[in-house]
Amino acid sequence: MLRFGLFRLLAVLVFGVVIPWATVRLSRTIGAPLTLVGAAALGLAYGAIKADHPWAGEGLADNLQLMGVSVAVIVGYAGVSLAAARALVRFRRSRP
């Protein structure tokens, strides 16, 4: 049986409701392209902060890869959130 504790329930609530809602609200304020650029900047910052290896030699390639993956994940998450919100709006408008 699947057990959900308070931490897991909060994680599902934050990543499934709060962050997508905030992303859509932000995109309505500043526009979708700027929201995605902001998500890319957030991904670069996260990748730079989480880098463990030195920024020279072999560690540079690993750090750049971590930053690239971070950007791809966060921009993908924001893009999916915006696409789902647009699909819901279209679905609501198409119903009689």
Rounded to the nearest 5 degrees, what angle is found at the Cα of 14, between the Cα atoms of 8 and 18?
Answer: 160
DSSP string, 35-65: HHHHHHHHHHHHHHHH--S-SSTHHHHHHHH
Q: What is the pTM of this model?
A: 0.80
What is the structure's pLDDT at 51? Answer: 79
Helix (H), strand (E) at residue 24: helix 19-30
pLDDT of residue 2: 65
pLDDT along the chain (96 residues), means of 10: 78 89 92 93 89 74 88 94 90 84
Q: Please tell me the distance from the alpha carbon of residue 85 to that of residue 15, in angstroms, as a whole number.
A: 15
